[in-house]
Amino acid sequence: MLVNDPAAAHFEIDPERTDLVEEFRRNPKGPHSDQLRKVLHRMRWSGEGGRFVLVTIDPGRRWVLGRLSGRRGDPVELFRNQTFDNPADAEWHVFKVRWQAITGRAIED
């Protein structure tokens, strides 16, 4: 069977590469450098730190952060105090959560 294995994304993220953090902060939507693409693929494929999603409250205007459990039939968990009027802000928020989950280091705003 063809399956998508979340653990297959195994690029090692160097916690010292804060330049990549800054690159993402400046330009969440990309295009990104080759090294940052690899960091993002690890984060997005593996879901480490949380398989986050945006749930549309008002199309094109407002979104709330959500998270998938990975189990069929579970509701989408909503973080009702985390709303965004720009998806790029949500990308930065999720990047910070995942960077800390993977590297153990927090990103200062």
Partner 1 sequence: MVDTNSVLGYATPIVASPGERIRFHLSSATMAEVGVEVVRVRCGDPDPAGPGLKLRSMGSAVDGRRPVRHQPLRPGSFAIVGDRLPLPAQSSFSFGCFLWPTMPAKGAVQTIAARVDRAGTGWRLEIAADGRLRFAITGADGRTASATAPRPLLEREWVFVAARYDEGGMLSLEQASLDPQGGRDCSAAMAGSAPAGVLWPDAAPLVFAARWTGEEAGRPVTADHYNGKIDRPRLHASALESAHIRALCDNLDPRPGDPGLIGAWDFAHGIGTDRVHDRAASRLDGQLFNQPARGVTGANWDGSAMSWQARPAHYGAIHFHDDDMADAGWEPDFALDVPADWPSGFYALRLTGENAEGAPVDSFVGFFVRAPLGRARAPVAFVASTATFLAYANSALRLDQVHAESMLEGLMQLSADDCYIAEHREVGLSTYDTHADGSGWIYSTARRPILSMRPRANSFNYVNDTHVLDWLEEKGFDYDVIADDDIHRQGAALLGQYRCVITGTHPEYYSREMWDAFDAYQRGGGRHIYLGGNGFYWRISWNPAMDSAIEVRRDVTGVRTWEGEPGEAYHSYTGEFAGLWRTNGRAPQRLVGVGFDAQVFDRSSWYRRLPESHDPRVAFLFEGIGADERIGDFGLRNGGAAGLEIDRAEATLGSPPHLLRVATADRIGYGGLPTPEEFRTAHRGLDGEQNGNVRADMVFFPTARGGAVFATGSIAWACALSPRGYDNNVSRITENVLRRFLDPAPFEGF
* Binding status of residue 38 toward partner 1 by CB under 8 A: no
* Binding status of residue 45 toward partner 1 by CB under 8 A: yes
d(CA 19, CA 46): 22
Rg of the chain, C-alpha, whole Å: 14
* Binding status of residue 13 toward partner 1 by CB under 8 A: no
* Binding status of residue 25 toward partner 1 by CB under 8 A: no
DSSP secondary structure code for residue 75 in this structure: P
**Cβ distance 63 to 83 under 8 Å?**
yes
Applying CB under 8 A, which residues contact partner 1? 1-4, 6, 28-31, 37, 40-41, 44-47, 51-61, 63, 66, 68, 72-76, 87, 90-91, 94
